[in-house]
Amino acid sequence: MLEGREARDQVVPRVRRQYVPPALFQHLLDRVQSRKIPASQLELLAKWLDGEPEVLEGLWYKRFSGMTVCGEGELIKTFLLPAQAPKGERVP
């Protein structure tokens, strides 16, 4: 267990919801449209994000019933369909 300064230095990233780079934001919108991600799945994503989930510094993914969200550190990088294989570590 970390104590004192070491514990304070261990910052766990949370998914960034503001100030997403414009090119990345456009990529995410394109993926929603091209992969026909239903609004119900985006609602589940929004509820998950409302909980300010902790994620990993490296590659991670979160599975929902109709899509998988893939990220790296604090940024969501893409949306996959259920049959597509994500990279990284699964987050709860």
Q: Which helix (H) or strand (E) holds 62?
A: strand 59-63
Higher pLDDT, 3 or 19: 19
Which amino acid belongs to residue 79? Answer: F
Residue 6 resides in a domain: no
- Picking from 2-6, 22-26, 43-47, which range would have the lowest pLDDT averaged per residue? 2-6
- CA–CA distance from 50 to each of 18, 29, 35, 42, 54 (Å)? 13, 19, 24, 12, 11
**Does residue 3 fall inside a structural domain?**
no
Q: Is the pTM of this model over 0.95?
A: no
Number of separate domains in the chain: 1
Q: Is residue 1 part of a domain?
A: no
Token output for 49? 């994000």
Q: Is 67 within a domain?
A: yes
What residue numbers bound the domain in which 58 lies?
A: 11-90
> What's the pLDDT score for residue 10?
72
Asked if residue 4 is part of any domain, the answer here is no
Report the 10 Å Cβ neighbour count for 11.
8
